[in-house]
Amino acid sequence: MNSFVWSLVGGRVLVAVFTLLVVSFTVFCATAILPGDVAEVLLGQAATPEAVAGLRAAMHLNDPALLRFVRWLAGLASGDLGKSYANNMQVAQLIGPRLLNSLKLAGITTLFSVPIALALGIAAAILRGSVFDRALTFLTIAVISVPEFMVATTAVLLFAVHLKWLPALSFAREATSFWDLLRIYAMPVITLAFVISAQMIRMTRAAMIETLDTPYVEMARLKGASPTRIVLRHALPNALGPIVNAVALSLSYLLGGVIIVETIFNYPGIAKLMVDAVSTRDLPLIQSCAMIFCLVYLLLITVADVIAILSNPRLRR
């Protein structure tokens, strides 16, 4: 690896850190301007002005916004997410189990959707212009056009209401067998797979087609290389960077879809926790959940960019 490659990698990491700082400021400002008073929400409508003023002073809500932001950012840097306003518990204790549930759901969705999407995208690129390619293109465009909440609602109506195969709510009861676990995760995973698979298929197909049209692949074809060798030996390694970017971008869409899915299926994840925190104006909890979403998004994009840089043979030479 030459110094230029490492300078590119370092630049991407620095950009990610700077972006995270900008996002933290945006998240803090967005939560600070939410309508309503936190103290009034916590004490109720019957609270006296003196009680509201006392609670605001105890929670340091009267401090300048910049001072509160610096204090909150310093806490994040040290791993202290603060205390929940509504539960009077450490935010980390509330987020921990919920984050584990969300990671479990995202992991199962990734294991289910990524291999299928990559295989279909590569097959569509190899069979470009065929009936399979045209049908898959039509299907992916149709899926992309359908919002996540409609997919989730349709799944509930079909599999839970009419067919009665699957429960309408996830984690409505404890799983005692593999079949119960499959029934609990089936509809959230299917819905999220619809969210990310279609986009991943299209981006993988485009990356493979671009690589298959390059001169060195054409030279391998003229030399009599088999289609399998052309794809696996010549095209796929050089398309690795764009394909990894496609996977990372598609998985980042998971962050938006998981909020809707966890809410509809009552799945006890971090997105559902964030939605509940908004209703009670629990600012530390909202801010921490939002920062976790932003951190995961930036991590996915940065890792994809770094892999794309390191896998580029022209940059390595």
Check which CATH number belongs to the domain holding 304 and give it: 1.10.3720.10
pLDDT of 281 > 60? The answer is yes
Average pLDDT over residues 245-252: 79
Q: What is the pLDDT of residue 134?
A: 92
Q: Which residue range is the domain that position 249 belongs to?
A: 82-312
Considering the domain boundaries, does residue 45 fall inside one? no
Q: What is the pLDDT of residue 314?
A: 63
pLDDT digits (tens, 9 = 90+) for 59-75: 777 778 888 888 888 88
pLDDT of 135 > 90? The answer is yes
Considering the domain boundaries, does residue 262 fall inside one? yes
Considering the domain boundaries, does residue 117 fall inside one? yes
Split at pLDDT 50, 70, 90, the class of 120 is: very high
**CA geometry: angle 89, 95, 100, nearest 5 deg:** 145
pLDDT digits (tens, 9 = 90+) for 197-219: 888 898 888 888 888 888 877 88
Lowest mean pLDDT among 106-110, 151-155, 168-172: 168-172
Question: What average pLDDT is seen over the chain?
Answer: 81
Considering the domain boundaries, does residue 247 fall inside one? yes
Considering the domain boundaries, does residue 217 fall inside one? yes
Split at pLDDT 50, 70, 90, the class of 132 is: very high
Considering the domain boundaries, does residue 270 fall inside one? yes
Contact by Cβ (8 Å): 189, 265: no
Split at pLDDT 50, 70, 90, the class of 308 is: confident
Q: Domain count of the chain?
A: 1
Considering the domain boundaries, does residue 232 fall inside one? yes
Structure tokens at 263: 């809410």
Q: What is the pLDDT of residue 312?
A: 66
Considering the domain boundaries, does residue 74 fall inside one? no
